[in-house]
Chain A
């Protein structure tokens, strides 16, 4: 949570990215406490590893500096903070009103084991799983096309025609 707040306070994007890694890591620990060991591993590998590396590389590639304040951002701050506070209080109030308890799982007695998840993933959720693979493929193509320089895309199109 401190990491999340730090993400908001920092004005330099690289500091925000580093605090986001802290959030990801603590969420992975949280998943372990909840007995989801597979998700904890995936969280560290995919989020704290892959996605954050992408972010940091982009920040360095684009040479992102301090953000500057403008008129629009001040208006957004004025309206945004009270609105979000009201929303957060509403959510918390709704959730705490239905309080119940969950057991914290001891390590070793985990039921979110990879085996269980794999059985569910490849039996009940087989179609969504396959659809995600198509989605990933499209995302790869889109990322390559968008990130390559415009003249390279045009050259590729001409090569296809000729």
Chain B
């Protein structure tokens, strides 16, 4: 018997950690991982609400979020590789031009 609010608080904390990492980290890969962390926080709240309302559609939605996250990770990491190949750096402060 765990209150719903505990799950929501945990998901809020995960999301906040993701936002924080997104803001303070300077390594592009770590920023990407922070985005994944945010997605996971939202997923947790989806599952918690699905359990609370006994509606499986919430879980289906989490499934879609995971699919989109997987696609996003593949494309994003490809972009990171392309950026690294042209600029030889992973620091977002040094990536300030769209075109070299």
Mark A residues whose CB is within 8 Å of B.
1, 4-5, 7-8, 13, 16-17, 20, 23-24, 27, 30-31, 33-36, 38-39, 42-43, 46-47, 50-51, 54-55, 58-59, 61-62, 64, 67-70, 72-73, 76-77, 79-81, 83-85, 87-88, 91-92, 95-96, 98-105, 111-112, 116-117, 120-121, 124-125, 128, 132, 135-136, 138-140, 142-147, 149-150
CB A122 to nearest CB in B, in angstroms, measures 10
Closest Cβ neighbor of A140 among chain B residues:
B74
Closest Cβ neighbor of A100 among chain B residues:
B4
A101 touches B3 (CB 8 A): yes
- Counted as pairs of residues, one from A and one from B, with CB atoms less than 8 Å apart, the total is 232
B7 touches A102 (CB 8 A): yes
Alpha-carbon distance between A62 and B12 when the two chains are bound, in angstroms: 32
Dominant secondary structure of chain A at its interface with chain B: helix
Do A59 and B67 form a contact, CB below 8 Å, given A7-B17, A34-B47? no
Do A95 and B5 form a contact, CB below 8 Å, given A27-B44, A39-B59, A147-B82? yes
CB B6 to nearest CB in A, in angstroms, measures 9
A99 touches B5 (CB 8 A): yes
CB B66 to nearest CB in A, in angstroms, measures 5
Do A39 and B30 form a contact, CB below 8 Å, given A102-B52, A117-B59, A139-B71? no
A30 touches B44 (CB 8 A): yes
Residues of A within 8 A of B29 (CB): 13, 17, 55, 58-59, 62, 64
B84 touches A105 (CB 8 A): no
Residues of B within 8 A of A150 (CB): 85
20 example contacts (A-B, Cβ-Cβ < 8 A) are as follows A20-B37, A24-B40, A30-B47, A31-B44, A33-B2, A36-B62, A39-B62, A47-B36, A47-B66, A61-B81, A68-B26, A70-B91, A73-B93, A80-B19, A95-B9, A104-B2, A117-B59, A117-B63, A142-B75, A150-B85
